[in-house]
Structure 1
Amino acid sequence: MEVTAADTTSASQTARTKLSENFDTFLVLLTAQLQNQDPLSPMDSSEFTQQLVQFSQVEQQISTNDNLETLISQQSAAAAALPLSYLGRAALIESSRATLYEEGSARWSYSFEEEPASVTLTVKDSSGRIVYSEEGVAASGAHNFTWDGTKANGEAATPGVYTLSVVALDDAGETVASKVNVMELVTGVDFTSGAPRIVTSSGSHDLEDVLGVLDAS
C-alpha cells in the first residue's frame, strides 16, 4: 500500500485534534478531583502524573509523524522532478516496443547472459501479426538489430509501433533468457496513473524500466 503525504497529514491532524480534546477533558476532571478531594486523605499524585507522561509520549509520536509528512512530501517532489529531467533526452529502456518511422527503420538491442545455440528474431505489428523474422546472433552479450521496415513478403510496413520477440535455445532445446532494449526520445511524462511514467513514440514506460538517459544529439 502506497502512503502519500496527504494520508499522513490527515492522520496527524486528526490525532493532534483528538489529543487536544482528551487533554482538555483530563484537565477538567483533574481540577474537579483536586477541588473535591478529602483534605485528610489527599489524592495519590502518581496516577495523574503517569497520565501526563502518556500525553507527552503521544505528543512526541505526533511530532514524529509531522516529520514523516515532511519527508514524504520531499520524496514525492523529488520523484516527480526526476522524470521531468528526462524530457528531450534519449532513454535506454527495457522494452520490446520500437517505432518504425516513415522512410526510416526500427532499432532494438537484445542480450543474453548465457550463450545460446540458436536465436530467432520476430517482428510483430500492433495486432500481434508476424511481419518479419530472421536469425539472430547466437552469442552471449549484447547485439543490435535494425529492421528497415520491409516485411517478409517484400512489402513496406506501415509506420508505427512494432514489437520484437527473441526466442533463444541452447543445445538441449531449452530456452535461454534474453533481454530486449530500445533507445528512444522522451517526449512527455504521464502522471495520470499515480506513479510517473515517461512517454516516448512507442508508448509510456515505468521509470524502473529506464536503464539510462543520454542527452539527445
Structure 2
Amino acid sequence: MVVPVSGSAAFAAPAAQGSAGGQKSLASGDFETFLRMLTAQLKNQDPLNPMEGSDFAVQLATFSGVEQQAQTNSLLSSLTQQMGGGVGQLSDWLGREVRVTGPVWFSDRPLTLDINPDPRADSVQLVTLTAGGRELMREEIGVGEGQVDWFGHDALGNKMPDGLYTYRVESWQNGDKIAEAEVGSYARVLEAELARGGVQLVLEGGAMTMADEVQAVRDPRVQ
C-alpha cells in the first residue's frame, strides 16, 4: 500500500569544504627569508677572510634541510586539514536520511519512495523485491510522478517481514510494458567512513552505499 507524500524536505548532499591553500606561501616565505640571509652574509663577508668552501657547503646543506623540513611541515599541515575537514564532513551525514536506489531497511515505519514513471504510461506498477532482486509483490499505484509512503502491506493486508527491500517502477501502455526504472527510497545514515572510492555510508539495516550515489538528503526532524 502506498500513499502520496504532500511535501518534501529534500536538500543537496553535504559538499566538500575548504582547502589547504596558503600553506605553500608560508613555507615559501621561510625559504626566501633563509636565502636573503645567506645572500647578505656572502655580500658582507670580509674580502680578506672569505667564507671557506666547507663553510659554504654547510650553509647550503642547512638551507636544503630547512627547505625539506618546511615542505614536510606544509604537507603535514595540508593532510591534517584535509583529514580534519573530511571527518567533519562525515559527521554531517549522521542521522540524515538519504535517497538511494539500493536496498533499504523496512521495519515499523513507512518508507518514502520517489516514483518517476514514463509520462506516456496509462498504468504504473510498483514492484517490491528482496535485496537480492527476487520479486515479492507488485501493485498498481496510478500514473504520475512524485513521492509516496510505502507501508509494506501485501495483497491480503498483512505487514511484510522486517528486512532489506528494493523497488522498481514499471510503466505500461495499452497492456505493454514500455519502461522500467529503479525507485529511490530514503534510509537513515548510521555511519560514514572514508573509503578508497570516497565516502561510504552505512545505512539502517546494514546496507551500504557510496556518497556519490546518493540522490538526495533530508533531515527527518523537519518532515
- Give the TM-score normalised by the residue count of structure 2: 0.53
Q: Which residue of 2 aligns with 1:189?
A: 191
Identity of aligned residues (%): 17
Deviates more, 1:167-176 or 1:130-139: 167-176
Secondary structure, in 3 states, of the residue corresponding to 1:158? coil
Which of 70, 87, 93 in structure 2 is aligned with 1:80?
Answer: 87
Shift of 1:165: 1.4
Q: Aligned in 2, Cα 1:57/1:119: closer, same or farther, shift over 3 Å? A: farther
Q: Which residue of 1 aligns with 2:27?
A: none
1:209 aligns with 2:223: no
Distance 2:218 2:147 in 1: 18
Distance 1:154 1:160 in 2: 18
1:148 aligns with 2:151: yes
Deviates more, 1:199-208 or 1:60-69: 60-69
Which of 179, 193, 197 in structure 2 is aligned with 1:175?
Answer: 179
Total equivalences in the alignment: 164
Distance 2:172 2:132 in 1: 26
1:122 aligns with 2:127: yes
Shift of 1:74: 1.4
Q: Aligned in 2, Cα 1:98/1:66: closer, same or farther, shift over 3 Å? A: same
For residues 39-67 of structure 1, what are the alpha-carbon distances to aligned partners after superposition, in whole Å with 9 as ceiling and x for unaligned?
xxxxxxxxxxxxx99xx899868855653
For residues 89-135 of structure 1, what are the alpha-carbon distances to aligned partners after superposition, in whole Å with 9 as ceiling and x for unaligned?
x3232224332214x433311236x6242533100123433221123
- Give the TM-score normalised by the residue count of structure 1: 0.54
> Which consecutive residues of structure 1, in runs of 5 or more, have no partner in the other structure?
1-51
Q: Which residue of 2 aligns with 1:199?
A: 202
> Which consecutive residues of structure 2, in runs of 5 or more, have no partner in the other structure?
1-58
